[in-house]
Amino acid sequence: MPVQLPLNIDSVKGFLAPEEGEALYQYALEASQLGPCLEIGSYCGKSTVYLGVACQQNNSVLYAVDHHRGSEEHQLGEEYHDSDLYDDSIQLMDSFKVFRTTMREARLDDTIVPIVAPSAVASRHWATPLGMVFIDGGHSEEAAQTDFRSWVSFIKPGGILAIHDIFPNPEEGGQAPYNIWKLAKASGLFEELPMVNTLGLFRRR
């Protein structure tokens, strides 16, 4: 049975397939009993809603890390640029206002902790163990590797690592998320779980 969300999720901008969102919800429902959850790459809040509703049910929180200036592919002139999210006054992309509107409409202001900063900066003095980390930030090799190195060590035993946009075939999509998925698989730290569409999943040993 599909998860019941407090808003029409199809109205939220984003690139998350419904079955991926429902998998995030189910794993966050379990993981948020271990500790707070964290996502890297919130954009306009589609994945945040799925994760946040699950955390809310356990009176937990979701840290939503995003600088809200867009990934490489969102910039002016790039393939996934959205003019609705472009601030002409400063000539920069800015998804934070739309993100906050999504959180208000989803009634998640008591659950979501937005961290408006680059992933590496947000992690610099981080000390809180996490029940789940969802990586869906920048898709350059440098960005993906930074997200992996910055946050994976904070996942508690039994917790979940989720990585979006896994494309083993280079003709289907970028390889940076797939490369960190391979790092997780080879690390010995995780038990591999079944993939859901392009969502790679692991459980911390």
How far is the CA of 75 from the CAs of 81, 94, 130, 158, 203, in angstroms?
5, 10, 31, 37, 34
Residues, the chain, total?
205
Q: Between β-strands 62-65 and 112-115, what pairing exists: parallel, antiparallel or unpaired?
A: parallel
For residue 117, the 8-state DSSP code is S
Determine the Cα–Cα distance for residues 114 and 93; give it in Å rounded to an integer: 17
The set of catalytic residues is: 139
Q: What is the rounded (10 degree) CA torsion for 90, 92, 93, 96?
A: -50
Angle at 160 between CA 156 and CA 163, to 5 degrees: 130
The sign one gets for the Cα dihedral 86, 180, 152, 150 is negative
- Please count the other Cβ atoms lying within 10 Å of the Cβ belonging to residue 195: 15
- Please count the other Cβ atoms lying within 10 Å of the Cβ belonging to residue 109: 11
E strands in 94-189: 112-115, 130-135, 155-163
